[in-house]
Structure 1
Amino acid sequence: MKKRTVYSTLEQKYQRIQKELMAGTLALVGVFLIGTAWYSLVERWSWQDAAYMTVITLATVGYGETHPLGNRGRLFTIALILMGVITIGYIVNRFTEAVIEGYFQENLRLRQRRLFMNSLSGHYIICGFSRTGRQIAKEFQAEGVLFVIIEKDLDSMQQAQQEGYTFYQGDATLDETLLRVGIERAICIVAALPSDAENLYTVLSAKTLNPSIRAIARASTEEAVQKLERGGADVVISPYITGGKRMAAAALRPQVMDFVEGVLTGADRQVYMEQLVLDPAVCPVVGLTLQKACLRAQTGALVLAIQRADGSVIGGPTGDTLLLPGDLLICMGTAEQLRSLNQIIEPINTKSRRRSQRK
């Protein structure tokens, strides 16, 4: 893995200006010390007189000599004036550039963004803001999901900024970049970079830094799908394979495909699909059958399938299907129906979410 530190282009520019301003200030201090030392050690003046003479010389205020100077002292004073003018001119030039380019305002925004990144928790990370990444961001935004985008292309970052997304400009394959967007506190990372190799590097880095994170990767070929799965990706999607399957389904079963498409995506949906996990510590329906749990009667939401803890799936469960600890329920309904179902299955988590929203 590469270990070098990666900063965004904006950060690099403002750090350069900051270093130049600091270098100019140190140079001015150095010139002051040289002048004070000369007048004190060579001209045999007191330290107070030497410092005063140096200040009025660098400030070019036009005051007279503190003590009479010989030719050597006057030549040094000329050199001191030149050094002071050059140093102060450099500082003024850098300061003017910083003001014109909005360094101070942008630096404040960068600090705020850095603090926001450090506060992220339970968020999603999108690596790459190409066509695939843009569509993912739109879906996340429609769902109200907290997410951050990683992209190293400046033009793509400007577009993400225009659309109001939270972003970080950097190389997603590097550990340092992932740490800066809170990879250790994220719950999911989506590697949507144009290169299969970059996606593989990203998945490997993410799984190393946060083994429990869910990793979803984009692949261009079937061979890349296998390698990404071996690299630790939980889900690998090939746009070409998936796109071909959906086009075939749209041709063979257009109405079904339109319905599924409307349920899964879009901001103006009326019917949603959701997945809920049965936690025996908080869920009161664990151990009951679907008929006794009365989930449909209480909420109106429909349980389409149940995935057991061992990975087996029960499609179209009947009323006699037993609800076991760790089951994952795939449900469909309106937003209000799914909200009511969530209050039954996860009552403690729902109350805590309400308290956090009120805060």
Structure 2
Amino acid sequence: MLHRLNINRLLLAITLTGLSLVFGMTGFMVIEHYHPVDAFYMTVTTIATVGFGEIHPFSHAGRLFVSFYIMYNLVVVAYLVSVFSSFIFDGELRKIYNMIRTDQEIRRFSGHVIVCGFGRNGRRAYQELIANGVRVVVIEMNQELMKSHAEGETDEDYDGDGAPGGNIYSVFGDATADRVLKQAGVERASSLITALPKDADNVFVALSARALNPRLRIIARASQKTSESKLLSAGADSVVMPDEIGGSHMANLVVRPEVIRFLDLISGLSADKMRLEEMSFEQLRKELRGRSIRELDVRSITGATIIGLRQASGDLLVSPPVDYVLASGDVLLVLGSEEQIETFEVRFRQL
């Protein structure tokens, strides 16, 4: 928003200068009957206050016009100088260049994820997506919030997916506006996470995003239970309520602490991080398709474990039978360490 405001100030200064030029030429041509070239010359010398003198002596009306015209231009020139000074000495030109460059980069994105809101939930979602090599565009109104986060990160934290200069690919504006969503590439995105503080805003974002991209996967944050049905009706595929999840998590730490510690391992909240990965039948190497889970022998080859399987029908099988033969539409859920999952990806994923 701040960059947009500064650009508007620059455009206003240029517009006022152009209007002053047109106004001066018109005055000299109408009052003193100057030729357009002479009128342009007199206008420029008057604005610049160089005092080269008149082409011919002014009439009383001409002198009054020039007097008021000079006073008007003192204000215009002072404003123009102040705007250009801020652009030169405050680094605004560099910031605008980076903003334009980032916008051009975003226009080339396809299949990326949009995160609306960079509060606690949005920031955590962004970090998790970046850690998994996903390209992300953030929509946020508060530039200072984005700046404070960027200053606390190193270039390595972005793993090459950051914007020019190590910053986050971001669009500053109201995520509920269609123009802002389009600027973030919503029509080409694969998923959108809306984590704005107000449920009503999240409903509006889901509604607008669904209209702009019917194929978009939308995950929405909700504070109130009553907002869940509204978000689903607006087009959200999934609704997450952080407060309810947090309360349930704390209660489960009392009644089943080891289960929660295991889930923390999978989610990356624990120091000994494990990774839960999925691989669809279509992503499996062609020569491995049509084999049973026993024949794939994932555990012996990689050390990772197949803990679940979602069938094409939508049914979820926990610890699927070893004689089950994978079919089109099936998705394997595999658990292991980072090293084990990387080995699994190399040995089983279609290149």
- What TM bracket, shorter-length normalisation? 0.7 to 0.9
Of structures 1 and 2, the larger Rg is shown by 1
Q: Indicate the residue corresponding to 1:108 in structure 2.
A: 97
Identity %: 31
Contact 2:28 2:62 in 1 (8 A): no
Q: Which of 7, 12, 15 does residue 23 from structure 1 map onto?
A: 15
Structure 2 counterparts to residues 38-187 of structure 1, below 5 A? 38=30, 41=33, 49=38, 51-68=40-57, 74-163=63-152, 164-187=167-190
Deviation (angstroms), 1:328 = 0.6
In structure 2, relative to structure 1, the CA distance for the partners of 1:291 and 1:47 (3 Å cut) is closer
Deviation (angstroms), 1:90 = 3.7
Counterpart CA distance in 2 for 1:85 and 1:71 is 22
Q: Indicate the residue corresponding to 1:292 in structure 2.
A: 295
Q: Indicate the residue corresponding to 1:254 in structure 2.
A: 257
The residue type paired with residue 222 of structure 2 is A
Contact 2:106 2:169 in 1 (8 A): no
Any idea what SS the aligned residue of 2:332 has? strand
Contact 1:277 1:328 in 2 (8 A): yes
Structure 2 counterparts to residues 269-348 of structure 1, below 5 A? 269-279=272-282, 283-348=286-351
In structure 2, relative to structure 1, the CA distance for the partners of 1:39 and 1:48 (3 Å cut) is farther
In structure 2, relative to structure 1, the CA distance for the partners of 1:27 and 1:228 (3 Å cut) is closer
Q: Indicate the residue corresponding to 1:202 in structure 2.
A: 205
Contact 2:140 2:174 in 1 (8 A): yes
In structure 2, relative to structure 1, the CA distance for the partners of 1:250 and 1:46 (3 Å cut) is closer
Relative to structure 2, which stretch is displaced further, 336-345 or 309-318?
336-345
In structure 2, relative to structure 1, the CA distance for the partners of 1:193 and 1:69 (3 Å cut) is closer
In structure 2, relative to structure 1, the CA distance for the partners of 1:193 and 1:54 (3 Å cut) is closer
In structure 2, relative to structure 1, the CA distance for the partners of 1:114 and 1:221 (3 Å cut) is same
In structure 2, relative to structure 1, the CA distance for the partners of 1:56 and 1:175 (3 Å cut) is closer
Q: Indicate the residue corresponding to 1:355 in structure 2.
A: none
Counterpart CA distance in 1 for 2:270 and 2:113 is 19
Any idea what SS the aligned residue of 2:111 has? coil
Deviation (angstroms), 1:181 = 0.9
In structure 2, relative to structure 1, the CA distance for the partners of 1:248 and 1:61 (3 Å cut) is closer
Give unmatched runs, 5+ long, in structure 1: 1-8, 349-359
Counterpart CA distance in 1 for 2:272 and 2:58 is 87
Tell me if 1:236 matches 2:225.
no
Contact 1:127 1:189 in 2 (8 A): yes
Deviation (angstroms), 1:124 = 1.8
CA root-mean-square deviation: 2.9
Per-residue CA deviations over 1:291-336 (Å, capped at 9, x if unaligned) read: 1223333322211111001111111123211111111100012223
Counterpart CA distance in 2 for 1:243 and 1:53 is 73
In structure 2, relative to structure 1, the CA distance for the partners of 1:289 and 1:241 (3 Å cut) is same
The residue type paired with residue 202 of structure 1 is V
